[in-house]
Amino acid sequence: MSVPIPQPPTIPFIGNVTSVEKEVPLRSFRLLAKTYGEIFQLNMLGQTVLFVSLHKLVNEISDDSRFHKRAAGALREVRNLVGDALFTAEDDEPNWGIAHRLLMPAFGTLAVKDMMEEMRDISNQLLQKWERFGPNAIIDPSDDFTRVALDTIAYCSMSHRLNSFYSEPQPEFAVAMADFLKECSERFTRPRLLQAMMYGKTAKYQADIKKMKDLADEIVATRKAHPIPKHDLLDIMLNSRDPKTGQSMTEQSIAENMRLLTFLIVGHETSSGMMSFMVYFLIKNPQTMRKLRAQIDEVLGSRPVQYEDFANLPYLIAVMRETLRLAPTAPIRQTAALEDTTIGGGKYAIKKGTPILIVKWELHRDPAVWGDNAEEFIPERMLDGKFEALPPNAWQPFGFGRRACIGRAFAWQEVCLVIASVIQRFDLAFVDPSYNLQIKQTLTVKPNDLLIQATLRAGAV
Ligand code: MNH
């Protein structure tokens, strides 16, 4: 017999919306998970949404044969910009399959390895900026890592230079995208009637969408006017045909710019947030910083990092894995049952299609997997075969199964390059030595109000 799924008290018409804070919904989801346990449900403006947060249940619903991705909530709002393009498509939308088959190879390990020097071009701009502004400059790492990540994805996959390091504040496009993503996540918890009255917000939202579409149009037009012999993402989008259906991406109903913008969205926020969290954890844990620095110095000396070096920097990899455990920048995964079913050995009845949100910030702290020190930042737990020996689906920063991240190799290489180079060259410190992690949330999460200073090390190149 199944038991009722716990739910906080509801208010007529709006349900549990008031249980969810507007600024950082994740904070509310985590609190509720701690209060109600492995599963709870909320009524969000009439729609039931389930939340699952411990490994045992998450492992059970991480099964492509019983559950599939749902683009509900904030993701549904992102479709206002990019429609059924890769990331926001429902699982059964045919455009997902075409884009997936065509674009996977563009981000495979080999393809990404060839992007190393283009990535370095952008990462050097960050190093130079920090060096030239000097040790007294106050750095917002989220801001500069967003510049790196956005410029890197645009340059590597579309040969387009956004030149974010040449403007202050960030370029219009970057600001429009950040505002758009924030508004998407707010719309999700806003009653429809209220939404309809928010003319100002809606006008700004539409204007941001237009700015982004204009840039995408410009990138496509430039490539068409000046073709280059480069088989990058943009080339595949414009010229390749799906081996299975024979269709090219441009023949479909969705304009090419939506696909392009998808990559600018998914290709930057998560990586940029990851680098910011890494810097936070490293400054907060000086012993870890020293150990990482020692390995980087030993392997690289004062020469620039090369692709081949990454295999010799296991502690860097462990720090990256541990960062994404405690601070998965894509904090939620959405799924839904393909048919009416039960989980937890018959304990909980799940209706077909009801959105289930996996709260990764809790999953990644489940004491049953990570032990009593789950809250602590300990990269050593990811070393010496321990990472490989984790139970299945205990660590899910890149999602799951057929809808998992296709940019993982790209992000991994980018973060290795940027962080190894930063740690090799700079001593980092918090501006406020007592800073403790706070987060801000758009579609993804980043540290809030984190400010640092970077001093060039004596003898650094
Ligand atoms: Mn990425 C999907 C995490 C960097 C391109 N990415 C996902 C998902 C997660 C994710 C989680 C699954 C979302 C879901 O379940 O709805 N991605 C990350 C993280 C980083 C990252 C943590 C960096 C760190 N992603 C990148 C980069 C790119 C990229 C860089 C592009 C080069 N990601 C994608 C695409 C998808 C995706 C494309 C959608 C895949 C699909 O739906 O089929």
Q: What is the pLDDT of residues 263-294, one digit of tens each?
A: 888 888 899 999 999 999 999 999 999 999 99
Would the pLDDT of 339 be above 90?
yes
Can you tell me the distance from the alpha carbon of 106 to that of 391, in angstroms, rounded to the nearest whole number? Answer: 30
Ligand 1 atom 42, closest CA: 87
Is residue 257 within 8 Å of 213, Cβ to Cβ? yes
Instruction: Kindly state the tokens that stand for 63.
Output: 């099964």
Q: Residues lining ligand 1, CB < 6 A?
A: 69, 86-87, 100, 107, 153, 263, 266-267, 270-271, 274, 329-330, 333, 397-399, 403-407, 410-411
Task: Determine the pLDDT at residue 255.
Answer: 53
Confidence of residue 417 (pLDDT cuts 50, 70, 90): very high
Q: Is the pLDDT of residue 251 over 60?
A: no
Specify the range with the lowest mean pLDDT, choosing from 114-118, 156-160, 371-375, 430-434: 156-160
- 430: annotated active-site residue: no
Length of the chain, in residues: 461
pLDDT at 445: 94
* Confidence at residue 362, expressed as pLDDT on a 0 to 100 scale: 97
pLDDT tier at 249 (50, 70, 90 boundaries)? low
String of DSSP letters for 167-195: SSS--HHHHHHHHHHHHHHHHTTS-HHHH
| Helix or strand run (H / E) with residue 128 | helix 116-133
Phi first, then psi: give them for residue 265, nearest 5 degrees: -70, -60
Collapsed DSSP state (helix, strand, coil) of residue 129: helix
What ipTM describes this predicted complex? 0.99
Residue 256's pLDDT is what?
A: 57
451, 306, 289, 449: CA torsion to nearest 10: 10
Give me the sign of the Cα torsion angle 172, 140, 285, 368.
Answer: negative
In the chain, the amino acid numbered 121 is D
Q: What's the pLDDT score for residue 253?
A: 35
Comparing CA positions, the residue from 198, 197, 201 lying closest to residue 182 is: 201
Residue in 270, 323, 335, 444 annotated catalytic: 270
Mean pLDDT for all residues in the chain: 91
Q: Is residue 400 among the annotated active site residues?
A: no
Is residue 156 part of an annotated ligand binding site?
no
- Look at residues 433, 435, 429, 434 and name the one whose alpha carbon lies nearest to residue 452: 429
pLDDT of amino acid 254? 42
Evaluate if residue 297 carries a pLDDT over 60: yes
All residues at 6 or more sequence positions from 351 whose CB lies less than 8 Å from its CB, including other chains: 48, 337, 340
Both tokens of 310, joined, read 């990454």
Q: How many helices (H) and strands (E) does the chain have?
A: 18, 11
Three-state DSSP class for 321?
A: helix
Band of the pLDDT at 419, cuts 50, 70, 90?
A: very high
Q: Are 333 and 402 in contact (CB under 8 A)?
A: no
Q: How far is CA 255 from the centre of its chain?
A: 24
DSSP single-letter state for residue 250: G
Query: Mean per-residue pLDDT for 208-231?
Result: 88
Cα-to-chain-centroid distance, residue 402? 17
DSSP state, residue 139: B
156 is catalytic: no
459 burial (CB, 10 Å; 0-12 / 13-18 / 19+) is exposed
Q: What is the mean pLDDT of residues 36-45?
A: 92
pLDDT at 449 over 80: yes
Span from the CA of 329 to the centroid of ligand 1 (angstroms): 10
| pLDDT > 90 fraction of the chain, expressed in percent and rounded | 65
The residue contributing the CA closest to ligand 1 atom 7 is: 405
Return d(Cα 40, Cα 53) in angstroms, integer: 9
* Three-state DSSP class for residue 425: helix
pLDDT above 70 (res 460): no
CB contact at 8 A, 453 and 424: no
Q: If you average pLDDT over residues 296-308, what whole number do you get? A: 96
pLDDT band at 153 (very low <50, low <70, confident <90, very high): very high
Per-residue model confidence (pLDDT) at position 286:
98
Q: 406 falls in which pLDDT band (50, 70, 90)?
A: very high
Nearest to 32 by CA among 12, 9, 14: 9
